[in-house]
Amino acid sequence: KAGVTQTPRYLIKTRGQQVTLSCSPISGHRSVSWYQQTPGQGLQFLFEYFSETQRNKGNFPGRFSGRQFSNSRSEMNVSTLELGDSALYLCASSSPRQGIHEQYFGPGTRLTVT
Amino acid sequence: AQKITQTQPGMFVQEKEAVTLDCTYDTSDPSYGLFWYKQPSSGEMIFLIYQGSYDQQNATEGRYSLNFQKARKSANLVISASQLGDSAMYFCAMRDDPQHDKVIFGPGTSLSVIP
């Protein structure tokens, strides 16, 4: 069974640009969550999607948005990039089945804003 | 507010020895789940072990066990027989709504295994 995949793995953008990151969950998983990891702030929850609906959102500005498609693939978008958006963006998927607790993480997308 | 505290920024352990990584948490919700994840230098988060707040027994997964002390709001990870491949960042995390996947992570502990 294929794991969570994220594309691209590395990205360099300029301040003010926008970026779209993609996440493909494990087959059969309908929940996708996004996290931002920085040395200063650690791992912070961005948002969670389930069946194409956002059902939880972290404390991030509106420049951060996301969506989920009918095949459970998810994208997150960051508009008007700032230097502080440089981070490792991790996507995780999980199954809503009883007894399945853990989230499975992808390898992440490392975004550098210059 | 939910919070995870890991007071050990860095730890060293001799190969084949056991090591305990500390984690305390704060939540007002009676139903919650606690997780430990490992993050090697490659960046990928690897699930290690899970403990539910109503679980009567401490969770174990191979060389990993969770020392759960509910009254103290403590969920320490014990790694037995450390291996060189255990060198990584270790994160304690909590989800206090079983219907959602919002997980709060602690700051992490960097573990180095010495040959």
Question: Whole-angstrom Cα distance, residue A68 to residue A54?
Answer: 8
Contact residues, chain A to chain B, C-beta under 8 Å: 31, 33, 35, 42-45, 48, 50, 55-56, 58, 88, 90, 92, 94, 101-108, 110
Distance between start and end Cα atoms, chain A: 37
B51 contacts: CB under 8 Å, gap ≥ 6: B33, B34, B35, B58, B59, B66, B68, B75
pLDDT digits (tens, 9 = 90+) for B52-84: 999 889 999 999 999 999 999 999 999 999 999
* pLDDT beyond 70 at A79: yes
Residue B43 pLDDT level (bands cut at 50, 70, 90): confident
The two tokens of residue A100 are 């399945």
When pLDDT is cut at 50, 70 and 90, the band that residue B93 belongs to is very high
Q: Please determine, for residue A92, whether its predicted confidence score (pLDDT) is greater than 80.
A: yes
Q: Given this model, what pLDDT does residue B42 score?
A: 87
